Amino acid sequence: MAEQPIALRSPKHRVERRAIGLWALQSLIGFGVLAGLLTAAYLIVDGARSWLGPVLVVVAVWGAVVTLVMPLWRYAVHRWEVTEDAVYAVSGWVVREWRVVPLSRIQTVDTIRGPLEQAMSLATLVVTTASSRGAVKVPGIDAQVAARVAEELTQITQRTPGDAT
């Protein structure tokens, strides 16, 4: 019997709403560090003030826009789902990426929890394959859900025939 192809479709699960706060905080920290460095250079380097001032303003405005818009946009776009056949993920901010990973191609399943994710009880689910596109990452999942899904995927892939390459 021939294997049925896995269709590209919209995953049904959204990431956690708390991911909005995580992404906003990560953006705020990143732009805050950049703005801080530019401000220090503006105050220290006399000859650079004429061009550093406008750059600092652009970075501050762009940082505010990105910090306010990007987390909401990512929350609206990011989706994920695990079925008996595949892992589905949709991600992106500017460029939307749809990924489908057949379970027979999964090599490893991990969860990652950085300090901010730990503080917000979130995790990133990482499904690694031999694909040249790299691992599928699903950020912003509840930490307990990510651990449970990683365990379930490990059990399913052990039962799934295939070469995992």
The residue extents of the domains of the chain are 18-74, 80-159
- Is residue 140 over pLDDT 80? yes
Beta-carbon contacts of residue 117 (< 8 Å; ≥ 6 apart): 22, 123, 124, 143
List pLDDT tens digits, range 19-71. 999 999 999 999 999 999 999 999 999 888 899 999 999 999 999 999 999 99
CA separation for the pair 75, 66 (Å, rounded):
14
**Is the confidence at residue 114, as pLDDT, over 60?**
yes
| Mean pLDDT value of segment 101-123 | 93
Residue 100, pLDDT > 60, answer: yes
Average pLDDT over residues 148-159: 87
In this structure, the number of other CB atoms found within 10 A of the CB of residue 92 comes to 12
Q: At the topology level of CATH, where does 80-159 sit? A: PH-domain like (2.30.29)
For residue 118, which phi and psi values (nearest 5 degrees)? -60, -45
Beta strands 86-91; 79-82: pairing state = antiparallel
